[in-house]
Structure formats: structure tokens, C-alpha cells
Amino acid sequence: MMLPDALNELVGSATASFEQAMTPADLENAKAQFLGKSGRVTELMKGMAALSVEEKKSRGAAINLAKQAIETSLNARRQALANAELESQLKAEALDVSLPGLQRLQGGLHPVSLTLERIEAIFGSMGFDVADGPEIESDWFSFTALNNPPDHPARSMQDTFYIDTKGEDGIYYNLRPHTSPMQIRHARAHVRKYRQDGGSDTLYAGEMPEIRVIAPGRTYRVDSDATHSPMFHQCEGLWLGENVSFKDLKYVFTDFCRRFFESDDLVLRFRPSFFPFTEPSAEIDIQFQQGPLAGRWLEVAGSGQVHPNVVRNMGLDPEKYIGFAFGMGPDRLTMLRYGVNDLRLFFDGDIRFLSQFQS
Ligand code: PHE
């Protein structure tokens, strides 16, 4: 049905005024002008009262069509305004998920600390305690108690740094050059704990649980190159009882090395050596059967049967108590495990290097 021009114009002007409405409120006002109680469409309806029945029919149908067209454009505009509103709301609340977040740096364990944890876990599983002791040591614990008296040439094996303060013995305190003083400290504490005789200084030959301990920690020497640092780490081991022999040392240390390096075919060699505090003494070398280091002998620890004079300085009767000790280098173990060839990298504090070891 064709609409008369007047109705077409009405639809056109309604659509135009809807288009001009920029907010829902504007649009409601515009709607009232056309479809409201006294809107123009309503006025047209009222104007039909005087028409004949025939005229009413055709005129009514035409007005209705015009009204529908106006309603359609009203709804289209409503939808358009709602879309625009949603659009601008989304824009205002937009999150750029591709923006880099605020970084929170995460710390981690130093590779040598990871090695120490590993050592403690393995020896812990074999019934060893873990002991901790001072890095500033008296001359007696670092040397004399370990059968290494003043002026003995063997002291130069462990040249270290001294503190500007003297101990009770009138000798300057030192930065311990090895963890071996912990053999004495731990054994004496152990003996004190188990002796029932009031703790006199005479040698204890009573009943006591075996001493099985490791003592990891920092040590110091006057040494500095690609494989030596003035500060480095050691881990002491001591197993003392009534019937502990070199064969136990061999068994325990072989088991440790194989578990540490996760290599069941790793081979150990005990090479005769000298330490004042052990007799006999041996350097422990390991050999990998696979990998880049296969076939080379690599020194990892000093060891030996605890010297009777040292057992005596522990407060124990060397006729009754016997055992072995070892001292290994966790820094060296870390280098071997990760294939690092310059020890200084571990202590330079470069986060780019250190962060590579986080598991
Ligand atoms: N303390 C020795 C060192 O620093 C290692 C060692 C420890 C040797 C225990 C024998 C027994 O080289």
C-alpha cells in the first residue's frame, strides 16, 4: 500500500528526529512528539472521527502503516544508542591483557646451597646428624686439637686469615681453614651428653652411641684463582664408634658419590696421602664412566682413620673408639655436577649466572 506524501513525510521527519537523539532521554522526548498522547500520529488518529466508514478503513490502515514504520525506526535508534552505550562502556573499562605486569622477582637457592641440601639429604638418609659451628675459630680447634701443633710444617697446608684478637691461649683467632674443627667440637659435645661420670676430663671409655655427623660450612684460605676462592665451602664427615673401619668409609663414600651424581657406575679411588689428624690418610678421587669427564680422575675429598691423638682430644679413649673422617669440597661437587669450570662465577653474585640453577 502506498502511503500519501504527508504520511511519508511524517515517517521521514520522525526518523530524522530519532536520528538526532543522542541519548535515550532525547529519544523518549522525540518519541513523545510522534507517538505520545498528543503526538502527531495520535492527532491523526483523532482526526479520523469525522470520516465515513470507507474512508476510515483506508485512512486507518495508512496511518497504522506509518505508525509501524515510525516504531520500527524508533526501535532501530534505541538499539543503536544501546550499542553505542555498551561500546563506550567497554572502551572505558578496557584492560590491555598484553601489557607486561608488575614484575615480582623471585629469589632462589644458590647452587652451592642446593649441593649442601643434597649432601645433607643423602647423609641424613644414612643416619648422619648435621652440625654447625663457628667460622672464627681458636688455634686449638683449627690446628692443635687436630694433632697439628704450633710450628708444625703441616700447618702451611691450611694457611688462613687471622683476626686481630687473641684467644685464651694467647694465639690469634683464625678464620677456620677447614671444617675439621667440627670433628672435635661435635665429638666433645656428644661425649658430654652421654657420659654418666660427671664429665671429668679423663678419657671416656664408657658406653655411648656412635658419632655419625656431617658438618658443612664456609672455610677460608689464602688462595685465589679459577679453582680456589679465599672463601669456599667444605663438608666434614665423622663416623666414630667401637668398630668402624676404613671399609665403612669406602662403602659410605662410594654410596654417597653415586647418589649425589646419580651415576651407579661411578668409580672411587683412595690415594695414599697425609693429614696430621688421620692415619692412614687418603685422597678420594672419583671417575665418571660416561659424559664429558669420563675417564678422568677427579679429587673430591680428603679422608682417613681418625688419629689416636685426635680421638684423645675428643675426650675419648683411642683404645676403645675408632673411626674415620673425611672433608669434601661442595664447591667442587657443584662445578662437577653442573659442568662449570670457574669457581669464581659462584661468588661473583651475577644473577644471570645464578638463576640458571633454579629447578
Ligand atoms: N681437613 C682436610 C682439608 O681441609 C680434609 C680432611 C678432613 C682430611 C677429614 C681427612 C679427614 O684438606
CA torsion 161→163→166→171, rounded to 10°?
A: 10
Q: State the Cα–Cα distance between residues 237 and 115, nearest whole angstrom.
A: 15
Per-residue cell: 241: 664408634
Residue 239 predicted with pLDDT over 80: yes
- Strand spans (E) along the chain: 129-130, 136-137, 162-166, 172-175, 211-220, 231-241, 267-275, 278-287, 298-306, 322-328
Q: pTM of this prediction?
A: 0.72
Q: State the Cα–Cα distance between residues 196 and 204, nearest whole angstrom.
A: 10
Alpha helices in 150-205 (DSSP H): 181-194
* pLDDT single digits (tens) 107-160: 889 999 999 999 999 999 999 999 999 999 999 999 999 999 888 887 777 788
Strand 136-137: give its sheet, edge to edge.
Answer: 136-137, 172-175, 162-166
Q: What is the mean pLDDT of residues 247-261?
A: 97
Instruction: Verify whether ligand 1 is closer than 6 Å to residue 328 (CB atom).
Output: no
Please give the pLDDT value at position 205. Answer: 87
Task: Provide the β-strand partners of residue 268.
Answer: 286
Q: What is the mean pLDDT of residues 251-255?
A: 97
Instruction: Verify whether ligand 1 is closer than 6 Å to residue 325 (CB atom).
Output: yes
- Please report, as a single letter, which amino acid is at residue 68: Q
Q: What is the mean pLDDT of residues 76-99?
A: 91
Q: State the Cα–Cα distance between residues 14 and 76, nearest whole angstrom.
A: 12
Q: Report the separation in Å between the CA atom of 340 and the middle of ligand 1, taken as the mean of its atom positions.
A: 24
Please give the pLDDT value at position 56. Answer: 87
Q: State the Cα–Cα distance between residues 24 and 74, nearest whole angstrom.
A: 11
* pLDDT single digits (tens) 30-85: 999 999 888 888 888 888 888 888 888 888 889 999 999 999 999 999 999 999 99
* pLDDT single digits (tens) 156-204: 777 889 999 999 989 999 999 999 999 999 999 999 998 876 666 678 9
Please give the pLDDT value at position 252. Answer: 97
Per-residue exposure over 287-305, b if at least 16 CB sit within 10 Å of its own CB, e if not: ebeeeeeeeeeeebbbbbb
* pLDDT single digits (tens) 292-301: 999 999 999 9
Please give the pLDDT value at position 101. Answer: 84
State how beta strands 298-306 and 322-328 pair: antiparallel
Query: What angle in degrees, to the nearest 10, is found between the helix axes of 330-338 and 111-125?
Result: 110
Q: State the Cα–Cα distance between residues 334 and 329, nearest whole angstrom.
A: 9
Residue 4 predicted with pLDDT over 90: no
Least confident of 94-103, 142-151, 281-290, 312-321: 94-103
- The closest-lying atom of ligand 1 relative to the alpha carbon of residue 219 is 4
Please give the pLDDT value at position 201. Answer: 64
Least confident of 63-67, 127-131, 311-315, 327-331: 63-67
Instruction: Verify whether ligand 1 is closer than 6 Å to residue 303 (CB atom).
Output: yes
Q: State the Cα–Cα distance between residues 122 and 111, nearest whole angstrom.
A: 17
Pocket test for ligand 1, best of 156, 157, 178 (most atoms within 8 A of CB): 178
Instruction: Verify whether ligand 1 is closer than 6 Å to residue 176 (CB atom).
Output: no
Confidence of residue 100 (pLDDT cuts 50, 70, 90): confident
Confidence of residue 262 (pLDDT cuts 50, 70, 90): very high
The CATH T-level fold of domain 111-357 is BirA Bifunctional Protein; domain 2 (3.30.930)
Pocket test for ligand 1, best of 221, 277, 279, 311 (most atoms within 8 A of CB): 277
Mean pLDDT of the chain: 92
Separation in Å, CA 157 to CA 177, 220, 292, 319? 9, 12, 31, 29
Q: Report the separation in Å between the CA atom of 146 and the middle of ligand 1, taken as the mean of its atom positions.
A: 10
Q: What is the mean pLDDT of residues 94-104?
A: 86
Instruction: Verify whether ligand 1 is closer than 6 Å to residue 307 (CB atom).
Output: no
Instruction: Verify whether ligand 1 is closer than 6 Å to residue 327 (CB atom).
Output: yes
Q: Report the separation in Å between the CA atom of 164 and the middle of ligand 1, taken as the mean of its atom positions.
A: 26
Please give the pLDDT value at position 208. Answer: 93
Q: Report the separation in Å between the CA atom of 92 and the middle of ligand 1, taken as the mean of its atom positions.
A: 70
- The closest-lying atom of ligand 1 relative to the alpha carbon of residue 303 is 10
